């Protein structure tokens, strides 16, 4: 059996280990070798699981089925929206914010009123929760020692009049721990690494303890999961309890939302997740390790609950303590002790962190502002750092005392047992002001105050008072019948809403009215000038940077600021920080510091870490003459800043556009230069081409003119040459004009459907004279049959192309045995005309040149030009206008490899699309 002294020793050893771990953590931190890894951070966050989880989940599972899981699914989902937490961390680090009250107040112009209100709500909502942890410790002791509740205290001491009970002793030890490791530095932003390490250890311990009990219950007391579930479902109502149909989905959803909000808003979670965060990248592990922790600690809840119900079937039992009573009933004291220590670790971890968080809020946002305002002696003191530290330590003792007294006073009352979710509901009231403030610039102080007050009011009336009533402290009539018999105002059925369970009911109405008031009042009223800057900084924390220093304008004395820092931070601390700051601004000595906006802001932020942003603002304002900026002025400054940003974006855009335009222009210029070059070429070629016939005309004319006695036969020959050259000149000019017209697209086309067959035959007929003169043969090969080959073309232009090709061909055929063949075929929707000659052929390198203007096959410098050099380019223009192509295939008659003489000749092809009928 369990002996009392052994349990007492074990408890002391456990708490001693906590002290040792915390001391180790702090030592390492002081030595610069931080123990804060991402795993420690994630385990620290598991302070979320209190004794309410350790003992209470099993209790909830016996009556609510799987709905106890919502308390852990909500945080799991919330952690996946890591952006919210990361933004909170970033804002808090930038502004040295140390508590949720500080956070909310800083957002709304560092309002002391708001900070105080948040603190009051937190204290009222959380103190009973701390009391619940103490009760869990006391209750677990009572289960271990049913006969002598105070078994841990030696009988000799018990008779002493001042001797506290064992729960009080544990509370005192916890207060000592919290004071030693939670208030090492005045500045809360200096982290409590030892405390976090101890809490992480506690998290690990309670998980191991709970899973050990789970494994013991499932595999040692029973035959595994299937066995427990199968036997349990034989009991009345259990089978339906484990099916999804027993779940009320509205309540399920409400509880998920509620716990998701609580994981952000609970002061202890804010402390660990935001204030104690060293590196935002630690969230990388926390986002999955913390949910995994929650999963593991819940894995055995349902089996333990069912096994307990099976074990105590028919007998009375308390479901909330099954984790402890089940091993005890089986006589396994080792397991029972492990469970006891697990419960102890869950309770103490919560008490420690929650007390630190609350103490920071109470001392910074209630006590210090009160003293600063009321007690002139207080504010005249030379060094306040020690006093402030003392205040914080006293607050810790006071808060734990408050929790203890509540536990003693409330005892078994419903108000205490049900406080878990009621606490969640209280802190959820912070959500609209906090989240709204982070993402909505126009949310203002009045809106936050209205939302918080109304939400808190609804919470008091629909959640806290009913729990008092059910404890029998006040009359319970208002819960269902409403005050003075007004049913519409019934606390659990406000405005007739009776379909929700009490928690969902309070959540709905408080959030509805809180959010509604926050938005409505924010929209209807204006922000104070002081708020605008911080609102901007919160919402745009990643981009705003140095904005706040622009908002501040006034006169200050650097000495006064230095004095102020020394008074609140202590001379040594202040000295070292100022030194560092001076160095960072490149000033070297503290004496060189100028009291500019940046220094004022620096002082205020430093003070905020120690006494909260609201008090810090008040104190700094007391030594500097701040020029009260009007709202319009502040808005102008912010506007300017955002306009500067907008301008620079605009500039970037414009310069990109300019670059693009420059590129286009350069391309266009290159093209123009190329065209200009081509034009010059063209002009020089044209003049050259024109001069040749002109020169010969002039030469022969001069000879005729100079020599009147020239024989008639010579005269006739010369005149013939002159006429021929003049004709060539005319033709050349006509063709140049024609080509220019084609290129500029000013030709009028008389398009018609006509039969290519007839057109080719007619044209060939008109050319027979030419072939005969050259002594060349001509063959026209038309497709078999007499079906017309219809194309949509301009008759004269098509004729021009054909004549051009034929006259070219006849020019190059040999004088003897010259042969020109013209072939017409249709294929693939095109009519193809091929004009073949057996001339010398065109070398490959000339084949593309001949389609350029004034280029002819052969050497133009030596050979006498045989044409204008415009025929082929013009023909190509025409054919392409009809939608066809013109090209040449040619062989120059190189001898084959085996020595047989090659066949030379050229074939010009042109295609014209067949007319669509």
Partner 1 sequence: MPKGIQKSVPKLAIVGLLALLAFNYPILSLFRGHLFSIPTLYFGLFGAWLLVIWLARAAADPQRRSTPRSALPVEETKA
**Beta-carbon neighbour count of residue 656 at 10 Å?**
10
Q: Smaller CB distance to partner 1: residue 254 or 527?
A: 254
Nearer to partner 1, 83 or 160 (CB): 83
Pick 246 or 692: Cβ nearer partner 1: 246
Count of CA atoms in the C-beta half-sphere (13 A) of 685: 19
Between 304 and 417, CB nearer to partner 1: 304
Side-chain-side CA neighbours of residue 141 (13 Å): 26
Q: Least distance from C-beta 501 to partner 1, angstroms?
A: 16
Q: How far apart are CA 191 and CA 40, in angstroms?
A: 14
* Smallest gap from residue 253 Cβ to partner 1 (A): 6
- Please give, one letter per residue, the 3-state secondary structure of 859-871: CCCCCCCCCCCCH
Residue 570 in contact with residue 383, Cβ under 8 Å?
A: yes
Q: Which is nearer to partner 1, 257 or 339 (CB)?
A: 257
| Total number of residues shown for the chain | 917
- Residue 252 or residue 456: which is nearer to partner 1 going by CB? 252
Q: Which is nearer to partner 1, 43 or 611 (CB)?
A: 43
Q: How far apart are CA 82 and CA 298, in angstroms?
A: 23
Query: With helix as H, strand as E and coil as C, how does 622-674 read?
Result: HHCEECCCCHHHHHHHHHHHHHHHHHHHHHHHHHHHHHHHHHHHHHHHHHHHH
Helices (H), 299-413: 301-311, 322-329, 333-362, 368-374, 376-380, 385-410
Supply the minimum distance, in Å, between the C-beta of residue 281 and partner 1. Answer: 4
Positive/negative CA dihedral, 709, 710, 712, 716: negative
Give yes or no for a contact between 76 and 291, defined as CB atoms under 8 angstroms apart.
yes
Of 303 and 818, nearer to partner 1 (C-beta) is 303
The helix, strand and coil proportions of the chain, stated in percent and rounded to the nearest 5, come to 70, 5, 25
Strand 819-827 versus strand 777-781 pairing type: parallel
In the complex, the smallest distance separating the C-beta of residue 284 from partner 1, rounded to whole angstroms, is 4
Rounded Cα distance between 420 and 414, Å, is 11
Q: Which is nearer to partner 1, 230 or 740 (CB)?
A: 230
Rg of the chain taking only CA atoms, in angstroms = 50
| DSSP string for 103-169 | HHHHHTTT-HHHHHHHHHHHHHHHHHHHHHHHHHHHHHHHHH-SS-TTTTS-HHHHTSTTPPPHHHH
What is the nearest approach in angstroms of partner 1 to the Cβ of residue 69? 6
Q: How far, in Å, CA of 521 to CA of 451, rounded?
A: 8
Considering the complex, state which of residue 124 and residue 287 has its C-beta at the smaller distance from partner 1.
Answer: 287
Angle at 447 between CA 441 and CA 448, to 5 degrees: 85
> What distance in Å separates the CA atoms of residue 287 and residue 486, rounded to the nearest whole number?
47
Q: Are 24 and 182 in contact (CB under 8 A)?
A: no
Minimum distance from residue 267 beta carbon to partner 1 (Å): 24
Q: How far is the CB of 310 from partner 1 (least distance, A)?
A: 15
- What ranges in 411-524 are assigned the alpha helix state H? 414-417, 419-428, 430-439, 445-459, 465-470, 477-480, 502-524
Q: Tell me whether residue 124 or residue 211 sits nearer to partner 1 (CB atom).
A: 211
In whole angstroms, how close is the CB of 252 to partner 1 at the nearest point? 7
| Nearest CB to partner 1, comparing residues 511 and 850 | 511
In terms of Cβ atoms closer than 10 Å to its own Cβ (0-12, 13-18, 19+), residue 855 is middle
DSSP code string of 863-900: SPP-S-S-HHHHHHHHHHHTT--EEEEEEE-PPPTTSP
d(CA 217, CA 344): 20
Q: Which residue lies nearer to partner 1 by CB, 147 or 245?
A: 245
CB 419 within 8 Å of CB 128: yes
- Closest to 842 in 3D by CA, of 904, 749, 771: 904
- Collapsing DSSP to helix, strand or coil, 906 comes out as strand
| CB closer to partner 1 out of 292 and 723 | 292
- Least distance to partner 1 from the beta carbon of 287, Å? 5
Q: Which is nearer to partner 1, 245 or 898 (CB)?
A: 245
CB neighbour burial string for 884-896, b if at least 16 within 10 angstroms, e if fewer: bebebebbbeeee
Q: How far is the CB of 20 from partner 1 (least distance, A)?
A: 30
**Is the separation of the CB atoms in 395 and 356 below 8 Å?**
no
Residue 721: name the closest of 853, 864, 858 by CA: 864
Residue among 94 and 333 whose Cβ is closer to partner 1: 94
Residues in touch with partner 1 (CB under 8 A): 66, 69, 73, 76-83, 86, 225-226, 229-230, 242-245, 247, 249, 252-253, 256, 280-281, 283-285, 287-288, 291-292, 295, 299, 302
Identify which of residues 295 and 740 has a Cβ nearer to partner 1 in the complex.
295
């Amino acid at each position: 059996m369990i002996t009392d002294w052994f349990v007492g020793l074990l408890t002391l050893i456990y708490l001693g280990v906590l002290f040792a771990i915390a001391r180790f953590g702090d030592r390492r931190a002081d030595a610069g070798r931080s123990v804060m890894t991402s795993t420690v951070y994630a385990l620290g966050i598991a302070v979320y699981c209190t004794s309410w989880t350790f003992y209470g989940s099993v209790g909830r599972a016996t009556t609510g089925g799987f709905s106890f899981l919502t308390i852990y699914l909500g945080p799991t989902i919330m952690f996946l929206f890591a952006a919210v937490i990361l933004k909170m961390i970033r804002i808090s680090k930038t502004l040295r914010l140390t508590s949720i009250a500080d956070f909310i107040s800083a957002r709304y112009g560092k309002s002391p009123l708001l900070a105080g209100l948040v603190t009051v709500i937190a204290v009222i909502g959380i103190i009973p929760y701390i009391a619940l942890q103490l009760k869990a410790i006391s209750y677990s002791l009572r289960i271990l020692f049913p006969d002598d509740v105070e078994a841990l205290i030696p009988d000799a001491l018990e008779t002493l009049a001042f001797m506290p009970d064992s729960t009080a002793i544990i509370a005192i030890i916890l207060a000592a721990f919290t004071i030693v490791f939670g208030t090492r530095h005045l500045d809360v932003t200096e982290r409590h690494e030892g405390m976090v390490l101890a809490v992480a250890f506690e998290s690990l311990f309670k998980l191991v303890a709970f899973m050990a009990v789970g494994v013991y219950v499932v595999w040692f007391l029973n035959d595994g999961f299937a066995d427990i579930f199968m036997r349990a479902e034989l009991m009345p109502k259990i089978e339906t309890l484990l099916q999804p149909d027993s779940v009320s989905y509205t309540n399920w959803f409400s509880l998920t939302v509620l716990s998701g909000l609580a994981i952000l808003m609970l002061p202890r979670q804010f402390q660990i997740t935001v204030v104690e965060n060293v590196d935002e990248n630690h969230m990388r592990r926390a986002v999955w390790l913390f949910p995994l922790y929650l999963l593991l600690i819940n894995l055995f809840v349902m089996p333990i609950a069912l096994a307990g119900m099976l074990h105590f079937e028919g007998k009375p039992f308390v479901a909330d303590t099954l984790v402890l009573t089940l091993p005890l009933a089986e006589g396994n004291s080792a397991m029972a002790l492990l469970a006891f220590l697990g419960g102890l670790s869950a309770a103490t971890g919560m008490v420690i962190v929650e007390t630190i968080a609350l103490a920071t809020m109470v001392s910074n946002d209630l006590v210090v502002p009160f003293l600063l305002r009321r007690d002139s002696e207080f504010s005249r003191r030379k060094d306040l750092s020690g006093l402030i530290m003392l205040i914080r330590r006293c607050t810790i003792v006071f808060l734990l005392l408050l929790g203890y007294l509540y536990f003693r006073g409330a005892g078994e009352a419903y108000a205490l047992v049900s406080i878990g979710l009621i606490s969640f509901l209280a802190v959820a009231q912070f959500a609209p002001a906090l989240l709204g403030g982070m993402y909505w610039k126009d949310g203002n102080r009045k809106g936050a105050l209205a939302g918080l007050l109304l939400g808190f009011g609804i919470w008091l009336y629909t959640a806290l008072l009913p729990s008092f009533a059910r404890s029998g402290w006040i009359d319970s009539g208002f819960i269902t019948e409403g005050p003075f018999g007004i049913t519409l105002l019934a606390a659990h059925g406000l405005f007739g809403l009776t379909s929700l369970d009490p928690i969902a009911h309070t959540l709905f109405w408080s959030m509805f009215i809180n959010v509604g008031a926050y938005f409505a009042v924010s929209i209807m009223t204006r922000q104070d000038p002081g708020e605008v800057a911080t609102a901007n900084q919160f919402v745009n924390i990643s981009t705003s940077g140095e904005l706040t220093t622009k908002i501040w304008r006034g006169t200050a004395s650097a000495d006064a600021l230095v004095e102020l820092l020394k008074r609140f931070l202590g001379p040594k601390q202040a000295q070292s920080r100022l030194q560092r700051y001076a160095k960072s601004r490149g000033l070297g000595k503290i004496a060189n510091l100028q009291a500019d906006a940046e220094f004022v802001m620096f002082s205020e932020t430093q003070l905020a870490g120690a006494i909260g942003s609201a008090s810090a603002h008040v104190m700094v304002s007391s030594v500097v003459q701040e020029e009260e900026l009007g709202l319009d002025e502040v808005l102008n400054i912010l506007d300017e800043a955002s306009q500067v940003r907008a301008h620079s974006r605009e500039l970037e855009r414009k310069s990109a556009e300019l670059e693009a335009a420059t590129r286009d222009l350069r391309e266009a210029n290159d093209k123009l230069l190329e065209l200009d070059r081509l034009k010059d070429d063209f002009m020089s070629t044209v003049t050259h081409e024109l001069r040749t016939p002109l020169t010969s005309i002039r030469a022969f004319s001069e000879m005729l003119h100079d020599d009147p006695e020239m024989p008639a036969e010579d005269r006739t020959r010369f005149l013939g040459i002159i006429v021929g050259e003049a004709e060539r000149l005319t033709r050349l000019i006509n063709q140049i004009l024609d080509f220019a017209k084609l290129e500029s697209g000013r030709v009028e086309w008389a398009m018609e459907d006509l039969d290519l067959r007839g057109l080719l035959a007619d044209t060939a007929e008109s050319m027979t004279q030419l072939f005969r003169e050259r002594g060349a043969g001509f063959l026209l090969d038309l497709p078999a049959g007499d079906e017309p080959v219809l194309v949509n073309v301009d008759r004269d232009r098509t004729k021009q192309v054909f004549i051009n090709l034929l006259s070219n061909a006849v020019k190059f055929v040999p004088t003897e045995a010259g042969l020109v063949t013209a072939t017409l075929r249709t294929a693939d929707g095109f009519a193809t005309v091929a004009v073949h000659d057996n001339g010398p052929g065109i070398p490959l390198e000339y084949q593309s040149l001949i389609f350029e203007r004034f280029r002819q096959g052969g050497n133009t410098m030596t050979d006498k030009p045989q044409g204008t050099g415009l025929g082929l380019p013009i023909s190509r223009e025409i054919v392409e206008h009809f939608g066809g192509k013109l090209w040449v295939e040619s062989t120059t008659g190189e001898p084959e490899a085996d020595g047989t003489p090659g066949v030379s000749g050229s074939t010009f092809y042109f295609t014209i699309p067949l007319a669509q009928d």
